[in-house]
């Protein structure tokens, strides 16, 4: 005999938990199914532990800079074992928090692997469950079939569980996971080689940021090999052998597979119940997050649209309101969402890149060495860019690489969402001395983009 709910969510990650709790608050009988740890990728093996490792790498940078500010710093060493123990304790604490949130929110947690039997029916082991609405919120997983034998290579999940760092490592890929971990490993003392197919890392980001990031990665000692990717990987007794173009091979004790992620839909039985999956196994949804099957919905990375934790959370809450509340806002807009890359230095972007601007656009930029770097003799620089619609004067894009870029762009994202104009930036009094003040001090246009032929507006 099956158990019945109003809503069953498959996946207790950030999106699934947010959706479940909001729906239960609306009075729905809710269950969430999880076959691993509660909290999902972001909390357990993604954003949170990744940023904790970034902090560890950043402390090394700060200790090296301290001498320039008058500090005598004794010889230091990083212990991956101590970091791993602290990370494990923190993720366990956060998992307990998430479990308590579900319990306190009157959400039933079912631990096991779900398999769809019909649009409104599923099984977990020998138990069957039915619901008026079922939501797929299973996120994504590392891609392991991009090149032959890639399935044997460690992923970011494995890196975050290391208790000792290798002396050297090869990072496969040029996306944000590859760039972030290459940046961190290098600053933790690992000799890093980075292989990627494009001419620059981080395809899809603004080219001025990509160029400066490549420079920063090289300055950190990373051996960048653009336009180069292994065609085959061979497992050795003490590492891996990468077969590269022109017959070259590269032996390494450790390899990071950072060649992308795929929607986590395997073994859910979606195709067996008649749902045609999209590219790489993505769950296709419409603007209201509904699939082609009645009562079946999806949120977050499993839809492979805008793969960011805050998007999954926002989609989950919106869907709960749509299904169980009398009124709700418009669907989550995916066109202009701020995002960050936690490299060292970090990057953050909002809106179109310069190359993506089709309407006449006025470009403003600033490129400088921050006070802290200049004083301590560091080489780090900060770069900022504003993209302004020439006709309306509205700010359309913000791009930055440098210290505190994610924090600064997050704050400015509120203004851009509210429709801020360049004139309003100009009327804003700067906080001095800060790096962020440069965004309100840009007066002279650097150039026009997007096919602009008219002069820039007066400043």
- The reported pLDDT for the residue numbered 340 is 97
Q: Which domain holds residue 21?
A: 3-142+262-324
Instruction: Give the torsion sign (CA, 228, 308, 315, 263).
Output: positive
What is this structure's pTM? Answer: 0.94
Extract the tokens encoding 428.
């804003």
| CA–CA distance, 382 with 115 (Å, rounded to integer) | 49
Task: Check whether 454 has a pLDDT greater than 50.
Answer: no
> Which positions are catalytic?
432
Mean pLDDT of 195-216: 97
User: Residue 331 falls within a domain, yes or no?
Assistant: no
pLDDT of residue 336: 84
CA contacts within 13 A on the Cβ side of 91: 25
- 176 annotated among ligand-binding-site residues: yes
Over residues 347-359, mean pLDDT: 97
Question: Is residue 327 predicted with pLDDT exceeding 90?
Answer: no
121 and 155 fall within a common domain: no
**How does residue 1 score in pLDDT terms, banded at 50, 70 and 90?**
low
Instruction: Give the mean pLDDT of 360-380.
Output: 95
Tokens read off for 350:
């909002």
The per-residue pLDDT for 456 is 41
Question: Among 204, 232, 259, where does a domain finish?
Answer: 259
Question: Residue 195 pLDDT > 70, yes or no?
Answer: yes
Is residue 194 situated within a structural domain? yes
Is the pLDDT at 421 greater than 90, yes or no? yes
Q: Are residues 415 and 373 in the same domain?
A: yes
- Residue 405 assigned as binding residue: no
Domain count of the fold of the chain: 3
Which phi and psi angles does 313 have, rounded to 5°?
A: -65, -45
310-320 pLDDT tens trace: 999 999 999 99
Q: Is 15 in the same domain as 68?
A: yes
Is residue 212 scored above 70 in pLDDT? yes
**Domain assignment present for 285:** yes
Q: What is the pLDDT of residue 33?
A: 98
Helix (H) or strand (E) holding 143: none
* Residue 383 sits in the same domain as residue 352: yes
Q: Kindly state whether residue 193 falls inside one of the protein's structural domains.
A: yes
**Tell me, what CATH number does 118's domain have?**
3.50.50.60
- Is 301 annotated in a binding site? The answer is yes
Judgement on whether residues 16 and 138 belong to the same structural domain of the protein: yes
- Does some domain include residue 54? yes
Task: Please give the share of the chain, as a percent, with pLDDT higher than 90.
Answer: 93
* 336, part of any domain: no
Task: Note whether 350 and 441 are same-domain residues.
Answer: yes
Q: Are residues 23 and 114 in the same domain?
A: yes
Domain CATH number, residue 409: 3.30.390.30
> Is 60 exceeded by the pLDDT of residue 91?
yes
Q: Are residues 350 and 393 in the same domain?
A: yes
């Amino acid at each position: 005999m099956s158990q019945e709910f109003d809503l069953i969510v498959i996946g207790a990650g950030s999106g699934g938990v947010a959706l479940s709790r909001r729906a239960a608050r609306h009075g729905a009988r809710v269950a969430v199914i999880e076959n691993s740890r509660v909290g999902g990728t972001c909390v357990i093996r993604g954003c949170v532990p990744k940023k904790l490792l970034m902090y560890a790498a950043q402390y090394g940078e700060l200790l090296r800079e301290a001498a320039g500010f008058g500090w005598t710093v004794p010889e230091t060493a990083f212990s991956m074992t101590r970091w791993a123990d602290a990370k494990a304790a923190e993720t366990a604490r956060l998992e307990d928090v998430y479990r308590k949130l579900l319990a306190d929110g009157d959400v039933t947690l079912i631990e096991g692997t779900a398999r769809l039997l019909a649009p409104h029916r599923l099984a977990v082991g020998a138990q069957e469950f039915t619901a008026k609405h079922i939501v797929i919120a299973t996120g994504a997983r590392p891609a392991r079939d991009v090149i032959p034998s890639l399935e044997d290579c460690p992923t970011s999940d494995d890196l975050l569980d290391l208790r000792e760092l290798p002396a050297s490592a090869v990072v496969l890929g040029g996306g944000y996971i590859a760039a972030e971990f290459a940046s961190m490993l290098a600053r933790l003392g690992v000799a890093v080689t980075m292989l990627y197919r494009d001419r620059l890392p981080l395809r899809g980001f603004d080219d001025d940021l990509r160029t400066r990031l490549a420079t920063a990665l090289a300055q950190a000692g990373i051996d960048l090999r653009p336009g180069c990717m292994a065609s085959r990987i061979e497992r050795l007794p003490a590492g891996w052998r990468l077969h590269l173009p022109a017959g070259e091979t590269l032996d390494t004790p450790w390899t990071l597979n950072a060649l992308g992620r795929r929607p986590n839909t395997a073994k859910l039985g979606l195709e067996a119940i008649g749902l045609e999956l999209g590219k790489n196994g993505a769950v296709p949804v419409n603007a209201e997050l509904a699939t082609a099957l009645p009562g079946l919905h999806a949120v977050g990375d499993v839809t492979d649209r805008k793969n960011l934790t805050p998007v999954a959370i926002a989609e989950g809450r919106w869907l709960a309101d749509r299904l169980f509340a009398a009124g709700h806002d418009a669907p989550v807009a995916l066109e202009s969402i701020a995002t960050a890359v936690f490299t060292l230095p970090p990057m953050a972007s909002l809106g179109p890149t310069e190359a993506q601007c089709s309407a006449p656009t006025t470009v403003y930029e600033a490129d400088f060495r921050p006070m802290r770097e200049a004083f301590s003799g560091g080489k780090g620089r900060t770069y900022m860019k504003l993209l302004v619609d020439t006709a309306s004067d509205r700010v359309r894009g913000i791009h930055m690489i440098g210290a505190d870029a994610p924090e600064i762009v997050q704050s400015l994202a509120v203004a851009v969402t509210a429709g801020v104009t360049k004139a309003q930036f100009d009327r804003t009094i700067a906080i001095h001395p800060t790096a962020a003040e440069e965004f309100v001090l840009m007066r002279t246009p650097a150039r026009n983009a997007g096919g602009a032929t008219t002069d820039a507006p007066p400043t």
